[in-house]
Homo-oligomer: A and B are copies of this chain.
Amino acid sequence: MANPIRFHYDFASPYGYMAATKISALAAKHGRSVEWKPILLGVVFKVTGGVPLPSAPLKGDYSRRDMERSARLFNVPFKLPTKFPIAAQSPSRIIYSLESEGPARQEEVTLALYRAYMVDDRDISSPEIAADVATSVGMDRQKVLDLIADPAMKEKLKVETEAAIQRGVFGSPYIVVDGEPFWGFDRLEQVDRWLQSGGW
């Protein structure tokens, strides 16, 4: 059985969102599954000294333009959220709570949460709103609110983010194929080639 593709993403990352809409089809084309790994870039940036794109002088303005241009080019519905970025604990914990249900279910809920934020401008950092979105794809609202507040889920997200940093993750999306790392929505074509050829 071929290794799964490890897909690290922050729910506040537009490029993470765009990649999330494409990664499963790309993996399936090569007989691979996806490991869904939400992380908190805010924690990563404390280690790397990185800054959220909107706060970066000059690069912030460019990145807004590039996000919208990339979304149009690759046919991904996208509207830069009013509140941007956000702290993504609530949606991230929901995804880890679904590990036992498998990657297809994690993908479905990931995309529902991303769409709520990146298309419908809903602030999914709010546990209430994140729970509403999860309910819309079949989760139990009270169970979702409970898991968001569950110390075990808090710890799980913390451990996963720390493990990602240990493996070198510094941005979103950050995709690992058989040990080879690819950073950015704009590396999906290289991921495709790597899966096809085993490297170059």
Contacts and interface: CB of A to CB of B under 8 A. Distances in A.
A28 interface: no
Interface in A8-33: none
Interface residues of A, number: 29
Copies in the complex: 2
Interface stretch (A51-59, A86-94, A107-115, A133-141): A51-59
A5 to B, nearest CB: 17
A138 to B, nearest CB: 36
A61 interface: yes
A47 B58 CA distance: 9
Contacts of A56: 48-49, 170
Nearest to A70: B190
B200 A62 contact: no
B61 A168 contact: yes
B186 A62 contact: no
Contacts of A190: 69, 73
Interface string A164-191: 0100111100000000010110110010
5 contacts: A49-B56, A59-B170, A62-B168, A62-B170, A72-B200
Interface of A: 47-51, 56-59, 61-62, 65-66, 69, 72-73, 165, 168-171, 181, 183-184, 186-187, 190, 193, 200
